[in-house]
Homo-oligomer: A and B are copies of this chain.
């Protein structure tokens, strides 16, 4: 395809701060992006904390920006702006940041590692973020929770009984595999952004289904998953971030607490 595409090299974004475009008021999917930026000590701005942040998110969502000939318009936040580049989709932003911020193994030493890390992140997001979201919104994301409460109970009960243990067991299996290497991490004996994603997913599910998660933790079958969770929480930069005002509280985002959905 080289001959069909005109050169499109973008302005070097090497020393430009990252700019996260995400809704204020909830950690949401944007939180995965924040954790990667925080762990790497990267300089970034965040519409959750800037004047006019909501208006900026809305301008993207309504398709007003960008139409610059470089970037396809994004469908939904989180969106990352870095220099001239504008990209969306949580796992995609993480892939970009992972390659730039040292949150995947060095491509010279392990050239296909990015695909292995991407698969782990996608699987955590599927089973421990998208599925929990659908537990409180099984019928329609555009309807209120109250309009799908009975269906939400049915879906949450199945999730807690079948899906949640399935995904925790999967990640336990990854952590037990030879490819995980030494230490508490998912791949290659060193922290990658997939570990940060799994941390945030476990944290959210602990908030949403505290009874089930306490029981699963006591059960001991997923000990390595909970060890990874602790190990991420104790990373110095992550620890400082979690104690800061930048770490927002869960409310009406992906992870929500409803007593009637808190199955054991």
Give A residues with C-beta under 8 Å from B.
Answer: 1-2, 4-10, 63, 67-76, 85, 87-89, 91-92, 95-96, 102-106, 108-113, 115-116, 118-120, 122-123, 127, 130, 134, 138-143, 151, 154-155, 158-159, 162-163, 167, 170, 173-174, 177-180, 186-192
Contacts and interface: CB of A to CB of B under 8 A. Distances in A.
A188 B118 CA distance: 25
A114 B4 CA distance: 16
Contacts of A134: 134, 138
A73 B179 CA distance: 9
A141 B167 CA distance: 14
- What is the predominant secondary structure among interface residues of chain A facing chain B? loop
Nearest to A185: B4
A179 B69 contact: yes
22 contacts: A1-B104, A2-B105, A4-B188, A5-B105, A5-B106, A5-B189, A7-B110, A9-B110, A10-B111, A72-B179, A74-B119, A75-B167, A75-B170, A91-B122, A92-B115, A92-B119, A95-B95, A95-B115, A138-B139, A139-B155, A140-B155, A141-B163
B173 A5 contact: no
Query: A-B pairs with the 5 shortest C-beta distances?
Result: A69-B178, A2-B106, A140-B158, A4-B190, A8-B110
A153 to B, nearest CB: 10
Contacts of A76: 123
Given A2-B106, A134-B134, A177-B67, A139 B158 contact: yes
A163 B76 CA distance: 13
A8 B89 contact: no
Number of copies: 2
A2 B108 contact: yes
A76 to B, nearest CB: 8
Nearest to A79: B119
Contacts of A75: 123, 127, 167, 170
Contact of A8 (B70, B96, B104, B109): B109
Contact of A109 (B2, B154, B159, B187): B2
A96 B123 CA distance: 16
A195 to B, nearest CB: 12
Nearest to A120: B72
